[in-house]
Amino acid sequence: MRILYVCTELFPLLKTGGLGDVSGALPPALREAGCDVRVLLPGFTAIRDGIGPSQLPHGGPIPLPPRYGPDLASHGLPPSPPLVQGTLPGSGLAAYVLDVPAFFNRPGNPYTDGRGDNAVRFGLLGWAAACLGHGLDPHWQPDVVHCNDWHTGLAPVYLRQMAMPGPPRAATVFTVHNLAYQGTFPPSAFPRLGLPDYLFGIHGIEFWGQVSFMKAGLQSADRITTVSPTYAREILDPLQGCGLDGLLRARAGVVSGILNGVDYKVWSPANDGVLAEPYDIDSLENKAKAKAELQRKLGLDLRPDAMLFGVVSRLTEQKGLNLVEAIADELVHMGGQLAVLGTGDAPLEHAFLLAAGRNPGQIAVDIGYDETLAHSIIAGADVILVPSRFEPCGLTQLYGLRYGTLPLVHRVGGLADTVVDATPQNLEAGRATGIAFDEFSAKGLRTALRRAFELRSHPRDWRQVQQAGMRQRFDWRVAADQYAALYRSIMPHAAPIA
Ligand code: ADP
Ligand code: GLC
């Protein structure tokens, strides 16, 4: 079974969030599950420079067809840019990279629409995926094209539109990692995508007068998945459906949730190169050293008994960190410390910096993106805070579980699916792995914090929760088997649209 996995970031080459972690780990796990996987990526500089030479016998560049697809001429680009073939470092998987420096060689966040051409540049990625799905590479045609998030949303649309001689088109899976980011563009973008006019309508890719790449993927993929079972249910509801719940309900029969996994080669305290002293479930005393090391690194007072709360996150509305900021001073008064690593919304960044200024030695805030410090915080903190307003899956709570760092989470989406609240019953049964709260407010979070302090005052219970969390396994192989079963169900011919 040949799978083309299409994504825009991939750890360790390029990562802005969880999608990068997923794309780095799932394709190799799919290979282990028996799939013949290749990856298609846009040629962002970090990706273009990071892939190795192709190991394939016919590994030269493949030009895209010179007609149809997005209008490149208006951007002064040649009509048939090449797909460079290469090899991913680490996994050794074959990759196609869309080699268009004018689109992808830019500083800063890869998704910023600085030149107003995001519709065309990510449209071109979808077009490249569709061409491969229709047999562009004579040596390798995928059975399934697996698309991820709005950037790839046009691939299933183009695949359905293309009438090409040869074998049937590949089937499509569209995975929603975050419904809130939709890739919407003004109507003037539509004529540049090379699609028939009738698709700019309610049954096509039009959404409240705009062009929506997310809607495109949801409307035309053979199967839709999202990254946890609970989020798969939540997005059918207006509250979490971001305006697309009606369409999702209409297609509910093809929507499912497959929980993300963890790459334990990257995220395990027993072999984490960032830690001076590795530790595991049987050597948890070494976790105290990771904590002291973190306190030193961040200029926090060296207080072994202070409960240290960690945050590693994009600082956006989704993540609910305004609640943490609101009670940061109280957290310190309760005897805790706070370490924040993140970047995002300027007012929130500013508010956290002010909180650190008010609480020297007790609150440390690092505004930036730092993979090494992320590992130090996940390992050194006692609690990892993930109070997200909504969370499709969430990975940091899974990393926390592995590191004996108790996740304290708002019970939504993937957080609800992965953290077992330390209620008296769950403690009694030995299955509690963290703390979960329901009321999304400063009050709700405050109550949860108090529960964390209370639990900490019973060291035996605390240790039991830590160990139960560390024993959990969220192996990618489990998810890969579920994806493989899904691919199989839509093979060899695409199922009719629901
Ligand atoms: P999302 O994808 O919504 O941002 P996830 O929890 O799925 O949330 O994944 C976030 C990933 O990004 C994790 O690997 C986390 O460690 C990482 N991360 C987030 N912010 C930072 C940061 N400022 N520095 C380093 N890593 C970060
Ligand atoms: C998104 C979601 C996050 C998820 C990640 C990987 O960024 O916000 O919840 O874990 O994608 O699927």
Q: Which of 313, 340, 370, 399 maximizes ligand 1 atoms within 8 Å of its Cβ, making it the mutation to test the pocket?
A: 313
Residue in 260, 229, 255 with CA at minimum distance from that of residue 413 = 229
Domains of the chain, CATH where assigned: 2-261+477-490 (3.40.50.2000), 284-473 (3.40.50.2000)
Q: Which of 22, 312, 348 maximizes ligand 1 atoms within 8 Å of its Cβ, making it the mutation to test the pocket?
A: 312
Q: Which of 23, 178, 398 maximizes ligand 2 atoms within 8 Å of its Cβ, making it the mutation to test the pocket?
A: 178
- Determine if ligand 1 sits within 6 Å of the CB of residue 388: no
Q: Please name which ligand lies nearest the alpha carbon of 391.
A: 2
Determine the distance separating the centroid of ligand 1 and the alpha carbon of 209, expressed in angstroms: 33
Determine the distance separating the centroid of ligand 2 and the alpha carbon of 69, expressed in angstroms: 29
Close Cβ partners of 163 (under 8 Å, ≥ 6 residues apart) = none
| CA–CA distance, 136 with 179 (Å, rounded to integer) | 30
- Nearest-atom number in ligand 2 for the CA of 19 is 6
- Nearest-atom number in ligand 2 for the CA of 17 is 7
Determine the distance separating the centroid of ligand 2 and the alpha carbon of 260, expressed in angstroms: 9
- Determine if ligand 1 sits within 6 Å of the CB of residue 312: yes
DSSP character at residue 14: B
Structure tokens given for 16: 């802005």
Identify whether the C-beta of residue 69 lies closer than 8 Å to the C-beta of residue 157.
Answer: no
Determine the distance separating the centroid of ligand 1 and the alpha carbon of 94, expressed in angstroms: 26
Q: Please name which ligand lies nearest the alpha carbon of 372.
A: 1
Q: Which of 8, 19, 21, 22 maximizes ligand 1 atoms within 8 Å of its Cβ, making it the mutation to test the pocket?
A: 21
Complete DSSP assignment for 249-281: HHTGGGEEE----B-TTTS-GGG-TT-SS---T
Q: Say what the pLDDT of residue 165 is.
A: 60
Residue having the nearest C-alpha atom to atom 19 of ligand 1: 313
Determine the distance separating the centroid of ligand 2 and the alpha carbon of 309, expressed in angstroms: 22
Residue having the nearest C-alpha atom to atom 5 of ligand 2: 18
- Determine if ligand 1 sits within 6 Å of the CB of residue 372: no
Whether the upstream peptide bond of residue 269 has omega within 30° of 0, thus cis, is: no
- Determine if ligand 1 sits within 6 Å of the CB of residue 386: no
> Cα separations (Å) of 77 from 45, 97, 127?
18, 17, 15
Q: Say what the pLDDT of residue 494 is.
A: 43
Phi, psi of 365 (to 5 degrees): -130, 125
Q: Say what the pLDDT of residue 488 is.
A: 96
Determine the distance separating the centroid of ligand 2 and the alpha carbon of 77, expressed in angstroms: 33
> Cα separations (Å) of 285 from 268, 278, 292, 377?
16, 10, 12, 17
Q: Say what the pLDDT of residue 492 is.
A: 56
Structure tokens given for 328: 């940061």
- Determine if ligand 1 sits within 6 Å of the CB of residue 70: no
Determine the distance separating the centroid of ligand 1 and the alpha carbon of 424, expressed in angstroms: 31
Determine the distance separating the centroid of ligand 1 and the alpha carbon of 151, expressed in angstroms: 19
Q: Say what the pLDDT of residue 421 is.
A: 98
Structure tokens given for 153: 């949303």
Full-model pTM: 0.96
Q: Say what the pLDDT of residue 496 is.
A: 43
How far out from the chain centre does Cα 186 lie? 26
Q: Say what the pLDDT of residue 163 is.
A: 65
Identify whether the C-beta of residue 267 lies closer than 8 Å to the C-beta of residue 234.
Answer: no
Residue having the nearest C-alpha atom to atom 7 of ligand 2: 18
- Determine if ligand 1 sits within 6 Å of the CB of residue 371: yes
Identify whether the C-beta of residue 358 lies closer than 8 Å to the C-beta of residue 331.
Answer: no
Q: Say what the pLDDT of residue 491 is.
A: 84
Identify whether the C-beta of residue 227 lies closer than 8 Å to the C-beta of residue 177.
Answer: yes
How far out from the chain centre does Cα 50 lie? 20
Determine the distance separating the centroid of ligand 1 and the alpha carbon of 15, expressed in angstroms: 9
Q: Say what the pLDDT of residue 67 is.
A: 85
Q: Please name which ligand lies nearest the alpha carbon of 399.
A: 1
> In terms of DSSP H, where are the helices of 285-339?
287-298, 321-326, 328-333
Q: Say what the pLDDT of residue 127 is.
A: 97
Which residues of the chain are under the pLDDT cut of 50?
A: 494-498
Ligand 2 is surrounded, with C-beta below 6 A, by 17-19, 22, 177-178, 227, 260, 391-395, 414
Q: Say what the pLDDT of residue 493 is.
A: 55
Determine the distance separating the centroid of ligand 1 and the alpha carbon of 160, expressed in angstroms: 34
Q: Say what the pLDDT of residue 166 is.
A: 64
Q: Look-up: residue for tokens 């050194």? A: 380
Determine the distance separating the centroid of ligand 1 and the alpha carbon of 18, expressed in angstroms: 6
Residue in 108, 143, 122 with CA at minimum distance from that of residue 41 = 122
- Nearest-atom number in ligand 1 for the CA of 397 is 6
